[in-house]
Amino acid sequence: MVPKPSSSTHSKGAFLPDASSVLYALLTGGVLVFILWPTVAILKESVLIDGAFSLERYRDLLTDNRTLLKNSLFVGWWTAVLAVLIGLCCALYVTRTAFRGKRAVLGVLLMTMIAPPFVSSLSYIMLFGRRGLVTWRLLGLRWNPYGAHGVVLMESVGLAAAAAFLIMAELRGIDRSLEQASFDLGAGRWETLLRVTLPLARPGIVTAALIVFIRSLSDFGTPMFIGGNYNVLATQAYMTAMGSFDLPKAAAISTLLVIPAFLVFLVYRKLMAGAPLFSSKAVAAGEERSLPAAVRWFVFAVVWSFVLFEGMKYGAIFCGAFVRTWGVDYSFTLQHLHTLQFSKLASLLRSVRYSFVAALAAGLMGVVLARFLGRRATLFSRIVDFIADLPFILPGPFFGIAYLLAFNRLPEAFLGTGFLIVANCVYRQLSLGIKSGVSVLGQINPELEDAVRDQGGGSLAVLRDVIGPLLMPAFLVSFINTFTFTMTTIGGIIFLVTPYTKVLTAEMFDAIQSGDIGASSVMASVIILVAMTVNTAFSWLLLKRRTKGSEAEYVSSVGAAR
């Protein structure tokens, strides 16, 4: 049958999907398939017993795991308090003092952000174990390094960097003339700090605390290695899946863990709703000596203790790669570098390749989705945005097991090529790309687009000449973040690696498990080196584009949210 010409022309605009609608459908479809569906799959697994609905696994869950839940919340709370304290000190140091060495502090903070998991625990034992270099060899101490104190210490130090960058972004955004006005009106330094600066920085501080809390809850590695007999829910979920092989029970325990995280997350979303990640406010160079002397020296002491601690932590790892047998024979050797032969080298190259693909995908998808979601304030787009945020609170192993359950029946082409590993990383980091995209777009004056259109430019021209260049920083931020994440993550993808798709973090995890300090240190150093190089190179690209008043911390302030 020949279609009527009139109806076809008539319906063109209304019914035939244009390219951008197809793209929108594909991207939102991806969010549903790769985030919502696995999450549903794992929840389903936890309530199905022999194919029938049952809450039996949940019945005893709360009573059985009350101690673990209490431990998780205890560690989360103290980690949040300490990490925010250290983070705030670092942020004040960089933005509100005239002390030297700010670059070094920023460098150490950046390094802390990109450290692969478990590395901290490894060097904690190397330095502060019962036979640690510092505690035993230098100080001759006999103490028990295992327990809640070790977990809280290492988690707070590790997460302090994220807190620092978030608070720093907030402090930099504060209009300095407000502080100046406070001084001019006769307020002292104490009063200005307590009644002007800190209240203005409160959103950043609260956000940092919430993020640290959520990330501490989902950290299973630190308690696993240095908790001793002090267990938390995340470790229990991981061990139930990996040790007792009970996926449904692991799913149920993870769900228990997700509930407090979810509540905190709702608060976080509410807070973040108004806060721009990219501040366009011109930052006036203000009076640097605005802190009371006591605070200034307290900040100085905390920051340099932190820097020293981190320096030792990474120093131990790098040295561990080049000494014969840590703890016994500290003579120099290159023999551990042989670790990088056989399949390890292939795994390293694979890690880099996956990280690059994931970073590219997350960057592009993030900014494009940002454009769609930022413009269409419909219920559907709000739901998609919310779903995209979910992986943020799901512990890595939870999201990994979810992928295993949801996608293991896919054809081999997907399983054997690393598609799932890359997808897992992309979708865990996507929300960050969207957020930075939305934040940038919010600052684009709509009249700019109209102007291009008025001059006869089509929507393509608008994209190419206006939105594209402006979105570039958001893309780069997302790229750097996802690259680093993919290069260093383990919790989620440990369940997804196959004989064909091993990555270096998985190899390192094995080496740490089997206690090979030399090999672990070599792999950890290589991972840090690669991630650091990419971070520096792309931050430089990013900074070249942003000429006014910005520093590398822009990248990190956004990265901190992961």
Partner 1 sequence: MRKIMTLVVLVALAVSVGTAAFAEADKPLAGRSISIFTAATGKDETFAEFTKDTGIEVHYLEISSGEVLSRLRASGGKNLADAWFGGGVDSYIAAGEEGFLEPYRSPEAELIPDEYKSPEGYWTGLSLVAVDLIVNTDVLKEKNLPLPKTWLDLGKPEYKDELMMSNPTISGTNYAVIFHLIRLFGEEAGWDLLRKMHENIPFYTKRGAAPPNKAAMGEVAIGIDPYDVGVQLIAQGYPVVSIFPEEGVPGFLAPIALMKGAKDMEAAKAFIDWCLSKRGQEVQMTYTAKVGTRPDAEVPEYLQGLKNAKIVVADPVKVGEMRKGILDRWQQEFGSKAEQ
Alpha-carbon separation of residue 480 from 73, 362, 427, 469 (angstroms): 31, 10, 15, 17
The smaller minimum CB distance to partner 1, of residues 122 and 159, is found at: 122
The smaller minimum CB distance to partner 1, of residues 469 and 515, is found at: 515
The smaller minimum CB distance to partner 1, of residues 156 and 347, is found at: 347
Upper half-sphere CA count for residue 396 (Cβ side, 13 Å): 22
Which long-range contacts (C-beta less than 8 Å, at least 24 apart) are formed by 68-73?
68/231, 68/232, 68/233, 68/236, 69/233, 69/256, 71/148, 71/230, 71/231, 71/232, 71/233, 72/217, 72/232, 72/233, 72/234, 72/257, 72/260, 73/217, 73/260
CB of 255 to partner 1, least distance (A): 17
The smaller minimum CB distance to partner 1, of residues 199 and 416, is found at: 416
Helices (H), 193-246: 198-218, 221-226, 233-242
CB of 227 to partner 1, least distance (A): 8
Rg (CA), the chain: 25
The smaller minimum CB distance to partner 1, of residues 167 and 503, is found at: 503
Given a contact cutoff of 8 angstroms between Cβ atoms, the answer to whether 228 and 147 are in contact is yes
The smaller minimum CB distance to partner 1, of residues 90 and 348, is found at: 348
The smaller minimum CB distance to partner 1, of residues 161 and 404, is found at: 404
Concatenate the DSSP letters of all residues of 490-516 into one string. Answer: -TTGGGT--TT---HHHHHHHHHHTT-
CB of 416 to partner 1, least distance (A): 6
CA–CA dist 197, 299 (Å, integer):
15
CB of 231 to partner 1, least distance (A): 5
CB of 132 to partner 1, least distance (A): 9
Given a contact cutoff of 8 angstroms between Cβ atoms, the answer to whether 318 and 521 are in contact is yes
The smaller minimum CB distance to partner 1, of residues 465 and 516, is found at: 516
Identify the DSSP state of 409: T
CB of 40 to partner 1, least distance (A): 15
Q: What are the residues binding partner 1 (CB under 8 A)?
A: 67-68, 71, 125, 129-131, 136, 144, 146, 224, 228-231, 235-236, 239, 241-247, 324-329, 342-343, 401, 404-405, 408-409, 412, 415-416, 495, 497-500, 502, 507, 510, 513-516, 518
CB of 373 to partner 1, least distance (A): 33
CB of 513 to partner 1, least distance (A): 5
**Other Cβ atoms closer than 10 A to 547:** 7
**Other Cβ atoms closer than 10 A to 134:** 14
